[in-house]
Structure 1
């Protein structure tokens, strides 16, 4: 494997994990002297990577793909003559896609046993500097922790112009802050009343407009919007590329441990991330030195890799112990 002129990188989901791989892409782009890099991901996430400067081609797999489709994909990959394949997902789907290609495939080694100890016994044996970015980089033998690149995404001038019009139509013509309160799982979402307190404090102290982003399924956004009319609620009103463009125009971004906050960092925005059941050991948390995780040191967290597991305690203390004042101070510091 001396020649690495054509490389395939595989990561099917989810948004945050895909964004984090862009650091790895820059590393191999430099290491192998500007190789041709193809990126295989699910179709519903592929637009995130449009204009990503280190990707030469995006290969989309349908989210509804069957086993037959995966074997067809495997044949396509075999015929594409890659010099090396980096499987950064390590799933059944990615393993089927790379059957017969073990000689050129390097697969991410997920810390499953360490996570078992952490979730079940609350025994944390992770290295202090552990992160998902480092986990991916361990696929490269001689990577240097001191020179790991930042994540990187891009939006076009046309996209920026379009969302400026959208923002103006919604009364936003000045500098603003983006809030992302929703998350894939309810356990990762902070209490609505705490958000209301937080919003009021930010508005009083900064006089800044807050733009709220999310999906149409984020009920917390609707609740916040019904209580505070000053928040510009664009949840469910943008696609992912529009949301990215709006974020790129914001002064700072705050909210849940969710994909849009990882996107914000990849667009070089300072982030305040509210962490409850997840942590850096689960793949969550911020990556920029000027961003910050707001979290509590309770014995039961983290309790699951993605925050899906329902809290078994009488109250979700990992979220309840986080104060609006603490989050507000962090957001204001990052303006």
Structure 2
């Protein structure tokens, strides 16, 4: 795209949640920063997603913010005023388009800032997820929608992001508390069996079978990913008595360590969840399991292969974009109908 002499020089970017959604913005944000070296970009997000911004371009400034300090209309007005005064914001790229960011955009406009909101494509989503007469066509990917926001601001763009640790392996010291450095001939597999909503979670009793069968393979080492006490306890039971299974949730090493570890794995088995996107950022192959949701909604991991998607063709799928709606059949067959053998077969494909 040709350079625009009227392009803004100080651009605010916002995406507050969730972790996976922020991860999806990174290939686009890093690329637009590289394509516009004369511009400063300020990424406004919550503290946890802010920790994902590894190897950030020199003109990208990450602004972690506690949204609890800026509640309501008054809070968004105060935040807009603070940002404009401190960083001389000229344009606002809203990659979230929720009530909070629309309010922030309103107060930015009142200060003369150019504002572009993400176009979510709600009509297409509704056609894809409605109970009857679905239109089973792939929607525009979220990364393409993010690119469009910057295009509408008149910014140059070229896909240049290559992933984290693309040129050099991460320091093994990052995950030394979990395992020794990888030995020749070892096969490392990370498994992320959880998601925010039930419609996106493969049944734990079936996933445990996947874990057991993989752990029985010679030379295999498994790393189980999760967060919080309940998930750590579940993974701990799966790892019990096996010296080649590591419960990463119990170690709590942090996102950077887990991403470094995933970059050294031959594959990651994940739900349609944040870990799919984190693994994608480090160039890991992801065998992703999809239930209530569908890759057609535009959320497949960056550079992931369609043949690594494991799912059932059902007339009711997808029933929602985020997997947060009750199962219309009340049995979650979209997940229970996937056998452990099918997941292992997908993993073993070249």
Q: What TM-score results when the alignment is normalised by the length of structure 2?
A: 0.82
1:163 partner SS: helix
- Equivalence for 1:59: 63
Shift of the alpha carbon at 1:204? 4.1
Identify which range, 116-125 or 97-106, moves more after superposition. Answer: 116-125
Q: Quick one: structure 1 residues 63 and 244, their matched pair in 2 at CA, closer, same or farther if it must change by over 3 Å?
A: farther
- Equivalence for 1:244: 259
2:261 partner SS: helix
Q: Quick one: structure 1 residues 311 and 129, their matched pair in 2 at CA, closer, same or farther if it must change by over 3 Å?
A: closer
- Equivalence for 1:28: 32
Take 1:52 and 1:288, find their aligned partners in 2: how far apart are those partners? 20
Shift of the alpha carbon at 1:190? 0.6
Take 2:148 and 2:137, find their aligned partners in 1: how far apart are those partners? 13
Is 1:267 paired with 2:279?
no
Verify the 8 A CA contact 1:178 1:212 in the aligned structure 2. yes
Shift of the alpha carbon at 1:30? 4.3
Take 2:135 and 2:6, find their aligned partners in 1: how far apart are those partners? 35
Take 2:38 and 2:295, find their aligned partners in 1: how far apart are those partners? 30
Q: Please, which runs of 5 or more residues in structure 1 have no aligned partner?
A: none
1:288 aligned to 289, 296, 303, which one? 303
Verify the 8 A CA contact 1:77 1:97 in the aligned structure 2. no
Shift of the alpha carbon at 1:184? 1.2
Is 1:104 paired with 2:114?
yes
Verify the 8 A CA contact 1:218 1:235 in the aligned structure 2. no
Verify the 8 A CA contact 1:10 1:39 in the aligned structure 2. yes
1:12 partner SS: coil
Is 1:89 paired with 2:96?
yes
Q: Please, which runs of 5 or more residues in structure 2 have no aligned partner?
A: none
Verify the 8 A CA contact 2:15 2:95 in the aligned structure 1. yes
Q: Quick one: structure 1 residues 26 and 303, their matched pair in 2 at CA, closer, same or farther if it must change by over 3 Å?
A: same
Q: Quick one: structure 1 residues 236 and 284, their matched pair in 2 at CA, closer, same or farther if it must change by over 3 Å?
A: farther
Task: Please tell me the root mean square deviation across aligned C-alpha atoms, in Å.
Answer: 3.1
Tell me the matched-pair count: 330
- Equivalence for 1:39: 43
Greater than 6 Å deviation, 4+ residue runs: none
Is 1:166 paired with 2:177?
yes
Is 1:213 paired with 2:225?
yes
Take 2:40 and 2:106, find their aligned partners in 1: how far apart are those partners? 22
Verify the 8 A CA contact 2:129 2:320 in the aligned structure 1. yes
Shift of the alpha carbon at 1:95? 1.6
2:83 aligned to 71, 77, 81, which one? 77
1:198 aligned to 195, 210, 222, which one? 210
Deviations 1:265-306 (A, max 9, x none): 001111111111112344432331447221111111222222
Take 2:68 and 2:278, find their aligned partners in 1: how far apart are those partners? 25
